[in-house]
Amino acid sequence: MSFSEYETLLTSVGEDAERVATIAINRPDARNALNEQVRRDLTDALAVAEEDEEIRVVVLTGADDSNAFVAGADVTELRERDLLEQREASKRPRVYEIVDDLSVPVIARINGHALGGGCELAQACDVRIAVQGAKIGQPEINLGIIPGGGGTQRLARLVGEGQAMKLILSGELIDTSEAHDIGLVDEVYDEASLDDRVYELAGTMAEKSPVALELAKQAVKASSRMDLEAGLDYEAELFVQTFATEDKNEGIDAFFDGREPEFTGE
């Protein structure tokens, strides 16, 4: 499969790192606010990334001209919906679950403000790398609503209940340095260094066995969704499954031969 031409996205594969796809939300007039069209385009692009065997890592970001990662949901759409319409729009899987469930690793390149739904989209990614000076938070309470894209659940798992309560109940925004201090983002870089680090990490991941990447991602995510005993059993089962792959043999043979492995996903 290959990416389509999208009204609200810019896409590429392999331009910044081999086997790495970049999906950039490009709605500069609204600072990349998540409207229905963005969600449709993202859903399609993520489906392509899921099916394309050449793609081993996805970088999700905002187009640089938009001056934002995602500035939130489209407030105009929210204002126009009644309860029944929003209940329909909130049916899962939404774009947040699609990102979370993607079999390949997803890195959030937070190149600007990540607010509301944008913060939730970043939380659904596997790793978050942010630019210095950007603002991040859940300001929904200021509109008389609450986070509805997973923020009350994923945020508490990332930063703890107290920090999640503080951000969600106050609606305050924090900069990415503070977000790093509390564990909401994993790394912070200045604008000149952001891409070097994002694509260095993405490229390192993309060199690994795609089967091992998928199983490792599943195992780590299970750590916050299962109790310890169930998680250990789940990890053991996924570990055993790698022994049915040629990549396991290739990785070990390469180790003994003192060479770089060439993983095929088989």
The conformation of residue 19, written as its DSSP 8-state character, comes to T
Task: Tell me what percent of the chain is helix, strand and coil, each rounded to the nearest 5.
Answer: 50, 15, 30
**3 state SS of 116:** coil
Structural domains in the chain, CATH included, are: 9-206 (3.90.226.10), 210-257 (1.10.12)
| 74, 35 contact by CB (below 8 A) | yes
Say how far apart CA 143 and CA 187 lie, in whole Å: 30
In this predicted structure, what is the pLDDT of residue 1?
Answer: 62
Say how many Å lie between the first and final Cα of the chain, rounded.
19
The amino acid that residue 5 corresponds to is E
pLDDT digits (tens, 9 = 90+) for 17-36: 999 999 999 999 989 999 99
| 105, 217 contact by CB (below 8 A) | yes
Neighbours of 92 (CB within 10 A): 8
Set 36, 54, 140, 246: catalytic member: 140
Cβ neighbourhood burial of 162 (10 Å; 0-12, 13-18, 19+): exposed
In this predicted structure, what is the pLDDT of residue 85?
Answer: 82
Is residue 77 predicted with pLDDT exceeding 90?
A: no
Set 7, 50, 51, 120: catalytic member: 120
Contacts with 211 (C-beta within 8 Å, 6 or more apart), sequence order: 242, 245, 247, 265, 266
With cut-offs at 50, 70 and 90, classify the pLDDT of residue 72: confident
Q: Model-level pTM?
A: 0.93
The pLDDT > 70 percentage for the chain reads 100
Q: Is 140 a catalytic residue?
A: yes
DSSP bridge pairs for 22: 12, 59
Mean pLDDT of 188-192: 97
> What backbone torsions phi and psi does residue 136 show, to the nearest 5 degrees?
-145, 145
pLDDT digits (tens, 9 = 90+) for 81-127: 888 887 887 788 999 999 999 999 999 999 999 999 999 999 999 99
DSSP bridge pairs for 59: 22, 107
Sheet strand arrangement including 173-175: 68-70, 113-115, 135-137, 173-175
| 112, 90 contact by CB (below 8 A) | no
Closest CA relative to residue 235, chosen from 249, 224, 219? 219
